[in-house]
Amino acid sequence: MAVTAQLSTTRSTSTVLVVSVAAFLASLDLFIVNIAFPDIRKAFGSADLGTMSWILNGYTQERLEVAMADITMLILADHAWFREQFAKLDDLQAQTPANRGALDRVWRPLADKLDVHAYIEEKIFYPQLLKRGTEDPEGETLDAIGDHNEIRDGVRDANAARVGTEPWWAAVGRTRLANDDHMGEEERQGLSDFRRHAPAGLREALGRQYSEFMAQHPTTKGLLIADRDPRSYVEDFEDARQSEPTDHSFGSLGIGSLKGD
Ligand SMILES: [Fe+2]
Ligand SMILES: [Fe+2]
């Protein structure tokens, strides 16, 4: 129990640290723009204050969007969203009588996004981690695919039960546990490894693909959501890599079609 509590505290501290650094960088960026404001104003000559405010907002927004285009940041943002949705279920669980409609409105999008998130990570993030990672990317990928299977199993079991019943809460609980464990590990291992060793341009290119895919797939409709054998996943990647021509650029990300398996 003490170890679990300590791990939980460590994870919470890491999350707070990541969010704090992001907030600090965003504030710093805004601060720099404000210092440069007189020069920017000179450059725009006769623009009035309203127009300048619009230009300033546009610049700041663009900087934030560039920072958020990094696939590792987009994955982190989704992880934060997952935690929020499970917290909403806590609030709903405390209500009597149970509000099944409200539970369903939180669970359905959460269940879909958990599956779509794992799907796209396996499609575009883990193949690139296997290529670019330097800290046991194979081990990190094997762990991740195994964890994704546990999350998929939990989602499938919850979807097979009636919302708000005991079996449903048990399956939701298993999903949450598997997902919490996985997110902490993925953030400490794969995401950290990739952020430190993959070029920024690649992270942004993958981030754009990730965003587009998530926007096109608000649900799992049309996607084959199925468990994968972790060892076969890594071996298939190695086989495909050996038959690839040697190309160290990332103009082609080598991720295959995003339209399905
Ligand atoms: Fe993830
Ligand atoms: Fe994952």
- The 10s digit of each residue's pLDDT in 66-106 is 556 999 999 999 999 999 999 999 999 999 898 999 999 99
20 vs 192: which has the higher pLDDT: 192
Give the SS3 label for residue 115: helix
Whether residues 111 and 170 share a domain: the answer is yes
How far is it, in rounded angstroms, from Cα 246 to Cα 248?
A: 7
Q: Within 10 Å of residue 115's Cβ, how many Cβ atoms?
A: 22
Ligand 2 centroid to Cα of residue 140, in Å, is 10
Ligand 2 centroid to Cα of residue 74, in Å, is 12
Residue 207 — φ and ψ, nearest 5°? -60, -40
Q: What is the pLDDT of residues 19-65, one digit of tens each?
A: 455 555 555 555 555 555 555 566 555 665 555 554 445 445 445 55
Ligand 1 centroid to Cα of residue 172, in Å, is 17
- Tell me which ligand sits closest to the C-alpha of residue 210: 1
- Tell me which ligand sits closest to the C-alpha of residue 143: 2
Whether residues 59 and 83 share a domain: the answer is no
Give the environment of ion ligand 1: residues with CB less than 5 A: 75
Q: What is the pLDDT of residue 258?
A: 46
For residues 30 and 60, is the Cβ–Cβ distance under 8 A?
yes
Q: Which domain holds residue 21?
A: 15-68
8 vs 67: which has the higher pLDDT: 67
Whether residues 64 and 112 share a domain: the answer is no
Whether residues 63 and 103 share a domain: the answer is no
Residue in 49, 28, 29 with CA at minimum distance from that of residue 38: 49
**DSSP for residue 254:** -
Q: Does residue 4 lie in a domain region? A: no
For residue 134, give the H/E element and its range.
Answer: none
Ligand 2 centroid to Cα of residue 126, in Å, is 9
With a pLDDT cut of 90, the percent of the chain lying above it is 63
- Tell me which ligand sits closest to the C-alpha of residue 118: 2
Q: What is the pLDDT of residue 241?
A: 79
Residue in 152, 129, 123, 132 with CA at minimum distance from that of residue 212: 123
Q: Where a domain ends, among 68, 98, 113?
A: 68
Domain count, the chain: 2
How far, in Å, are 30, 37, 49, 235 from residue 34 at the CA level?
A: 6, 5, 14, 52
Q: What is the pLDDT of residue 70?
A: 97
Q: Does residue 219 lie in a domain region? A: yes
Residue in 107, 102, 81, 23 with CA at minimum distance from that of residue 214: 81
Whether residues 185 and 141 share a domain: the answer is yes
Ligand 2 centroid to Cα of residue 89, in Å, is 21
For residue 62, give the H/E element and its range.
Answer: helix 49-68
Whole-structure pTM value:
0.71
Q: Does residue 86 lie in a domain region? A: yes
- Tell me which ligand sits closest to the C-alpha of residue 122: 2
Whether residues 60 and 170 share a domain: the answer is no
Ligand 2 centroid to Cα of residue 59, in Å, is 32
- Identity at 257, one-letter amino acid code: S
- Please compute the mean of the pLDDT values over residues 144-169 and round it to a whole number: 98
Q: Nearest 5°: CA angle at 34, between 29 and 37? A: 125
- Please compute the mean of the pLDDT values over residues 224-247 and round it to a whole number: 86
- Please compute the mean of the pLDDT values over residues 197-201 and round it to a whole number: 96
Q: Does residue 2 lie in a domain region? A: no
Whether residues 49 and 79 share a domain: the answer is no
Ligand 1 centroid to Cα of residue 188, in Å, is 11
